[in-house]
Amino acid sequence: MILNLPNDVLILLLRQLSVPDLNAVCQTCQFLHALVEEYGWSGYLRLNPRPSKSLVKHRQMWSAKAAAIHDFLSDNSWSRAQFVARPLSDSWPAKQQPAIALDSERLVVATHNTLYTYSFPQGTSPSISLEGSCNLRNPEDNNNYVTALDMLPNGSICVAFYDGTCEYIRILANSTNSTLNIERSPLPSHFRDNKDFVESLSTSSSRILSLSSKGRVVLTDTTALSTSLELNARSWTCHMCLESSSPFAAFGMSSSKPLVVHSISDTELSPQPTAILSLSGSKAPISTLNAVYAITRGPPCSWGGSPQITVAGWYNGIVSVHDLRSSSRDNSSGPPHLKPVLTLSNSWSDDPIYSVACGGGGGNHVAAGAARHSLVSLWDVRNPNGGFNVHAPLNDRSPVYALLMESSRLYGATESRPFVLDFGPGVTEASYPRLSTQPLRNHSSIGFYVTSYPHR
Residue at a domain's end among 14, 44, 75:
75
44: in domain: yes
417 and 277 belong to one structural domain: yes
Q: Do the strands 319-323 and 309-314 form a parallel or antiparallel pair, or are they unpaired? A: antiparallel
91 and 37 belong to one structural domain: no
400: in domain: yes
Structure confidence at residue 455 (pLDDT): 83
59 and 115 belong to one structural domain: no
312: in domain: yes
DSSP notation for 56-101: HHHHHHS-HHHHHHHHHHHHHHHHHT--EEEESSPPPSS----EEE
Give 175's pLDDT tier (boundaries 50, 70, 90): low
Structure confidence at residue 444 (pLDDT): 53
Give 332's pLDDT tier (boundaries 50, 70, 90): low
Distances (CA, A) of 84 to 76, 419, 432, 450: 14, 11, 11, 9
Q: How many Å apart are CA 303 and CA 300, to the nearest integer?
A: 8
Q: At 142, which amino acid appears?
A: N
Report the residue count for the chain.
456
pTM, entire model:
0.93
Domain span at residue 17 reads: 2-75
Task: Please count the structural domains in the chain.
Answer: 2
Which long-range contacts link 134-137 to residues 24+ away (Cβ below 8 Å)? 134/179, 134/180, 134/181, 134/182, 136/110, 136/161, 136/169, 137/113, 137/161
pLDDT score of 369 more than 90:
yes
Structure confidence at residue 34 (pLDDT): 95
pLDDT score of 390 more than 50:
yes
419: in domain: yes
pLDDT in tens, 334-357: 788 899 999 999 988 889 999 999
What is the number of other CB atoms lying within 10 angstroms of the CB of residue 247?
Answer: 18
172 and 291 belong to one structural domain: yes
pLDDT mean over 139-158: 86
291: in domain: yes
Question: From the centroid of its chain, how far is CA 362?
Answer: 15
Structure confidence at residue 90 (pLDDT): 93
52 and 123 belong to one structural domain: no
Give 224's pLDDT tier (boundaries 50, 70, 90): low
121 and 28 belong to one structural domain: no
81: in domain: no
DSSP three-state, residue 45: helix
Of residues 185 and 331, more confidence is placed in: 185
Lowest model confidence (mean pLDDT) among 49-53, 279-283, 411-415? 279-283
132 and 178 belong to one structural domain: yes
pLDDT mean over 410-435: 93
Structure confidence at residue 223 (pLDDT): 64
Structure confidence at residue 179 (pLDDT): 86
258 and 398 belong to one structural domain: yes
425 and 293 belong to one structural domain: yes
414: Cβ contacts below 8 Å, ≥ 6 apart: 98, 374, 392, 396, 398, 399, 400, 401
275 and 395 belong to one structural domain: yes
pLDDT mean over 213-229: 84
Residue at a domain's end among 54, 75, 96:
75
443: in domain: yes
| Mean pLDDT for the chain overall | 90
pLDDT in tens, 18-76: 999 999 999 999 999 999 999 999 999 999 999 999 999 899 899 999 999 999 999 99
33 and 156 belong to one structural domain: no
Residue 320 DSSP code: E
Report which of 223, 227, 221, 192 is spatially closest to residue 208, judged by C-alpha positions.
221
Q: Are the C-beta atoms of 231 and 218 separated by less than 8 Å?
A: no
24: in domain: yes
Q: What is the CATH number of the domain that holds 349?
A: 2.130.10.10
16 and 115 belong to one structural domain: no
Which long-range contacts link 101-104 to residues 24+ away (Cβ below 8 Å)? 101/149, 101/150, 101/151, 101/157, 101/404, 102/53, 102/54, 102/151, 102/404, 102/406, 102/411, 103/53, 103/151, 103/153, 103/155, 104/53, 104/54, 104/56, 104/57
pLDDT mean over 236-244: 94
Residue at a domain's end among 34, 53, 75:
75
